[in-house]
Amino acid sequence: MLNIALFGPPGAGKGTQSEFLVKKYNLFYISTGDLLRKEITEDSDIGREVKEIISSGGLVSDEIIVQIIEKSITDNPGYNGFLFDGFPRTYIQAYILEGLMLKLNTQLNSLISISVPEEESVKRLLNRGKTSGRSDDNEVVIRTRLREYYEKTIPVLQFYKEKGIYFEVDGRKNIDEVKSDITRIVKHELSKSLFNIVLFGYPGSGRATQGRALAKEFNLEFISTGELLAKEVEENTIIGKKILGLYERGQLARNEVGQMFPDDIVVPLIERKLMNVGDVKGFIFKGFPRTLVQSYILDGLIRKHTTSYIKVIELEVPVLELIRRLEKRNDTDSSMPYDANISSIIQRLQEHESRTVSVIEKYSQLHGCTKINGVGAIDDVYERIAEEIEFGLQKLK
Ligand code: AMP
């Protein structure tokens, strides 16, 4: 998701800049001022409560702001993120925004402050007052609104400076210049975001073959937890030694397929990958997450380290075809111990089913899951997945 807050004194041009931002990046626009004015027009309970405050230029209470934002922030799928205009306006509201974002499993990417000197704000608002029909666009109220801004709203900047997501543009420039300054900030933010694919499917569904080919074409890093673990053992690293210790103490069996390595071994390996993003646009995960717990871990890791997007793909192949493929694989180099005979193949498939189905369900609810027919020639299946990924990448632009 891409979530942005536009910040600045009344008259800085937040509304004007919002118009192009919401269109260009397909964002859901939330202007607390607009929402409050709508309540007033509808003569709702909230509307009656805030009418006086707004026309005198004061700030509405944080309680009311939470209510109106909660009402509009939920239930808005189909957008790439949110654009906040006129919120957060107090230090408390900055915390409220954190909570709201957390609830939606996302975060604010940047707070863009459009700076304009006080007298310029007054001049612009008086001008706007001639046509806006807003009762608060007159000089006395404008002065009160600006006082509120400098006293209560400016301290909010510190919050975002500390978070490292504060950006400033010079609002004295003309509309197009401000627009291109803002675009530059948003583009930079988007270039940091990663595109991640979680590839689900039964053993034999072609995840490794397809995942590797896709990684190459889309400049993604293919992460197979099985391979990462094997490499640690092979290179006798600290984690490798830990794994050997588990073998020696009989807590894990060497070469036994389908067994679960403890999360405190697997997770640091993935975290290391995420922290050292090389020259790639994102990751393709195969074999992780394998459990419900690991699905929470992956979402947490990705949120912690990156602004990113997760696309979940499940390769569907009928069971009989899986058995046929796995049995055939037994004669090849990529054979796994469980490919040796039909009963171990079936046991492996059952194990996968009992563990991973619930993970796929959870991911489907959270991120959606695209099911792709995995039957047919490798190249044909590849084309089907690649098309989905192209589509996902387009949506990100
Ligand atoms: P705006 O349209 O953003 O200039 O807001 C108009 C008026 O609505 C402000 O002067 C405040 O009285 C009220 N208001 C809008 N947003 C907020 C907010 N986040 N917190 C408190 N009051 C707000």
65 lines ligand 1 (CB under 6 A): yes
54 lines ligand 1 (CB under 6 A): yes
Res. 35 pLDDT band, cuts 50 70 90 = very high
Closest ligand 1 atom to 34 CA: 2
In terms of residue numbers, what domain contains 272? Answer: 194-396
Pair (177, 202) in one structural domain: no
Pair (71, 219) in one structural domain: no
> Which residues have C-beta within 8 Å of that of residue 209, sequence separation ≥ 6?
378
Of 154, 169, 192, the one marking the end of a domain is: 192
Strand order in the sheet with 308-316: 220-224, 282-286, 194-201, 308-316, 370-373
Pair (97, 205) in one structural domain: no
Pair (12, 98) in one structural domain: yes
14 lines ligand 1 (CB under 6 A): no
Pairing type for strands 81-85 and 110-115 reads unpaired
* CA neighbor of 179 nearest in space, from 355, 20, 363, 70: 20
Res. 69 pLDDT band, cuts 50 70 90 = very high
33 lines ligand 1 (CB under 6 A): yes
Q: Whole-angstrom Cα distance, residue 123 to residue 129?
A: 10
**Mutation probe of ligand 1 site: the residue of 31, 41, 54, 125 with most atoms within 8 A of C-beta:** 54
Query: Ligand 1 atom 6: the closest Cα is on which residue?
Result: 33
DSSP lists the bridge partners of residue 298 as: none
9 lines ligand 1 (CB under 6 A): no
60 lines ligand 1 (CB under 6 A): yes
Task: Report how far ligand 1's centroid is from the alpha carbon of 15 (Å).
Answer: 13
Q: Whole-angstrom Cα distance, residue 277 to residue 346?
A: 37
**Mutation probe of ligand 1 site: the residue of 7, 31, 49, 60 with most atoms within 8 A of C-beta:** 60
Res. 106 pLDDT band, cuts 50 70 90 = confident
Res. 118 pLDDT band, cuts 50 70 90 = very high
Task: Report how far ligand 1's centroid is from the alpha carbon of 59 (Å).
Answer: 6
Q: Whole-angstrom Cα distance, residue 150 to residue 76?
A: 33
Res. 18 pLDDT band, cuts 50 70 90 = very high
Pair (312, 250) in one structural domain: yes
Does 183 score more than 90 pLDDT? yes
13 lines ligand 1 (CB under 6 A): no
Burial (CB < 10 A; 0-12, 13-18, 19+), residue 106, is middle
Three-state secondary structure string covering 71-101: HHHCCCCCCCEEEEECCCCCHHHHHHHHHHH
Query: Ligand 1 atom 2: the closest Cα is on which residue?
Result: 33
Does 75 score more than 60 pLDDT? no
Domain count along the chain: 2
Token output for 335: 């054979």
Angle between helices 292-305 and 263-275 (to 10 degrees): 30
Query: Ligand 1 atom 15: the closest Cα is on which residue?
Result: 33
CA Rg, the chain, in Å? Answer: 27
Pair (259, 245) in one structural domain: yes
Does 394 score more than 80 pLDDT? no
Of 192, 224, 254, the one marking the end of a domain is: 192
Query: Ligand 1 atom 10: the closest Cα is on which residue?
Result: 57
Pairing type for strands 282-286 and 194-201 reads parallel
Pair (245, 336) in one structural domain: yes
329-378: per-residue pLDDT in tens?
888 877 777 777 888 889 889 988 888 888 998 888 888 899 999 999 99
Strand order in the sheet with 81-85: 27-31, 81-85, 4-7, 110-115, 166-170
Does 77 score more than 80 pLDDT? no
Pair (139, 218) in one structural domain: no
Pair (229, 347) in one structural domain: yes
H helices present in the chain, as ranges:
14-25, 32-41, 45-56, 62-73, 91-103, 118-132, 139-148, 156-163, 175-192, 207-218, 225-234, 238-248, 263-275, 292-305, 319-329, 342-367, 378-396
Size of the chain, expressed as the number of residues it contains: 397
CA atoms within 13 A on the CB side of 187: 6
Res. 307 pLDDT band, cuts 50 70 90 = low
Burial (CB < 10 A; 0-12, 13-18, 19+), residue 164, is exposed
> What proportion of the chain, given as a percentage, has pLDDT over 90?
61
Pair (19, 148) in one structural domain: yes
Does 76 score more than 70 pLDDT? no
Residue 306: its pLDDT value, please?
57
Q: Whole-angstrom Cα distance, residue 58 to residue 53?
A: 5
Pair (11, 51) in one structural domain: yes
53 lines ligand 1 (CB under 6 A): yes
Q: What CATH number has the domain bearing residue 289? A: 3.40.50.300
Does 325 score more than 70 pLDDT? yes
Within 10 Å of residue 228's Cβ, how many Cβ atoms? 19
Of 192, 218, 239, the one marking the end of a domain is: 192
Residue 54: its pLDDT value, please?
95
Comparing 28 with 79, the larger pLDDT belongs to 28
Phi, psi of 75 (to 5 degrees): 60, 40
